[in-house]
Chains A and B, each alone.
Chain A
Amino acid sequence: MNRRAMIIHPDDNVANLIGPGAKDDIVECITEGTPKTESITLREDIPANHKFAARDVAAGETIVKYGLNIGRASCDIRQGSYVHVHNIESNRGRGDLKEST
């Protein structure tokens, strides 16, 4: 099934699905403020409006949305994979980490 998603900033490595998505859906990704569109195939089911990787992201790499740092990858993430608390984590308010930023 064809789906749509928004990439908010050209530097972003995650996209926001519009509505829900299922594995193997081909998603048309529109980068806001640009004429750029690209098709990405979802690797798994994704809840309505949630995020997926717009490109391959390595463990520890910064997750970029709105063109800004929203956390880091806690494992390797392949393009089209669901992105959420299971594979990215915050850098802020982390009293559990010895060297918090």
Chain B
Amino acid sequence: MRDYFLGYPRPDGQVGIRNHVLMLSGTLYANPTCERVAMMVQNTIPIVHPLGRCQIAPDLARTFKTLVGHGRNPNAGAVIVVDHFKEEGCTADDIAQEISVSGKPVAVVNIRREGGALAALQKAARLAVEFNRNIGTQQREKTPLTKLIYGFNCGTSDVTSGLAHNRCVGWVCDRVIEAGGRALGAETTEMMGGEDLIRARAKSPEIAEKLLGFIKRMEKSILECGVDMRGTQPTGDNIAGGLSTIEEKSIGAMQKWGTKPIVGVVEYAEAIGPEPGLWLMDSPGHGGESITGIAAAGAQVMSFSTGGGHTINHPLMITMRLTGNRESWAQMKDTMEVDVSDMFEGTSLDEAGERLLDEVLDICDGKMTKAEALREFNGFAINRCGPSI
């Protein structure tokens, strides 16, 4: 197995697998400027969302942390933050200031200060052209897997998930960790019912308790709604795919964790520590929200394993999809990269896992995912902890 990838070293020691200019929207009202510039200027990626206004303080802090985390993600070679509001603690200037700690080029375009949408568009587009020209001379360098944060997630799970593709993801986690890298997953909802496995896998009782606390918090918030979680979790797709209960879905989802100890647990969108190993983040089962949290923590690449097939693609954290369901592969192969359905015909986990690892490392080196080639940006969604006010 190879133990390196070709990446772009950043001033803060992180290593990117892409060298994009990032258009980062501070609030929903800056979205059109970011989207237009990304359409005009090649190699430029938009991060747009509906938040940043009239959020309760912890929620606004979460939005801020998520946006800053994306600016710091090493797949961004330079960042342009666009907005015009004065939301305390979450202005474009505040966001840019925090991102600039990474040492990469960062600029702010304030729509009001520039004299409106047209002038702001002109300034942002000109900056994107200049940034692209300047970072274009950076070269990929041979980088050990110690610099890799391998993100993983699953969606549209079915009964093949726990038996095939999720096990392949776990196999890749194990290899990345053995090479000194970090693997990062999330999806607290899909840990409900897996408490015994968590106790057995956590490196220390404190780590287990923190993760179990996330699950209790999640379950409490559901119970407080006074509803039966069934009907939402498992989802309609899960049930059509043969998953009957959240417990069954969870234990299948946890096959992605491989076999190594859980070395750390973080809150949503929080950066993970330096220790190699398996890390887990608090997030809902919502695919876009959970992969966005993982991207904010600095993961460069994501394996999204799916039973029913999925079009999900994070704009900045390069997202490759795999399935072990032969029918889903046939239906959705335009937006998926790896098929491991032959595991049901006798292909071993080692063989299928290696196929996935090869594709992940090739993608790190620059091989485009299908969604990248299609510029399908649909997987950015910031998790919320409160109402709009």
Residues of A at under 8 Å CB distance from B? Answer: 6, 8, 16, 18, 47-51, 63, 65-66, 68-71, 83-85, 88-97, 100
Contacts and interface: CB of A to CB of B under 8 A. Distances in A.
A92 B192 contact: yes
A66 B252 CA distance: 8
Contact of B244 (A8, A83, A97): A83
B246 A92 contact: yes
A23 B26 CA distance: 58
Given A93-B192, A93-B223, A69 B247 contact: yes
17 contacts: A8-B162, A16-B159, A47-B242, A50-B159, A50-B242, A70-B244, A70-B248, A71-B245, A85-B230, A90-B193, A90-B244, A91-B245, A93-B233, A94-B223, A94-B230, A95-B226, A100-B223
A18 B242 CA distance: 12
B230 A16 contact: no
Contacts of A47: 242
Contacts of B229: 90, 92-95
A95 B270 CA distance: 30
Nearest to A32: B163
Given A68-B193, A70-B193, A91 B163 contact: no
Contacts of B344: 18
Contacts of B325: 49
B60 to A, nearest CB: 28
Nearest to A67: B251
B245 A66 contact: no
Contacts of B59: none
B39 interface: no
A15 to B, nearest CB: 11
Contacts of B241: 49
B219 to A, nearest CB: 6
B224 interface: yes
Contacts of A91: 193, 245, 247
Interface string B216-228: 0001001111111
Interface of B: 158-160, 162-163, 192-194, 196-197, 219, 222-230, 233, 239, 241-242, 244-248, 251-252, 325, 327, 344
B335 to A, nearest CB: 21
Given A18-B344, A70-B251, A95 B245 contact: no
Contact of B160 (A49, A65, A69, A70): A49
A84 to B, nearest CB: 5
B187 to A, nearest CB: 14
A15 B162 CA distance: 13
B230 A90 contact: yes
Contact of B222 (A8, A83, A93): A93
Given A89-B230, A90-B230, 7 more contacts: A70-B245, A84-B239, A88-B244, A88-B245, A93-B230, A93-B233, A95-B222
B223 A71 contact: no
A92 B193 contact: yes
A6 B343 CA distance: 12
A53 to B, nearest CB: 12
A51 B242 contact: yes
Contact of A84 (B230, B242, B247, B327): B242
Closest 3 pairs (CB-CB, A-B) = A93-B229, A90-B245, A96-B228
A96 B228 CA distance: 5
B244 A71 contact: yes
A100 B219 CA distance: 10
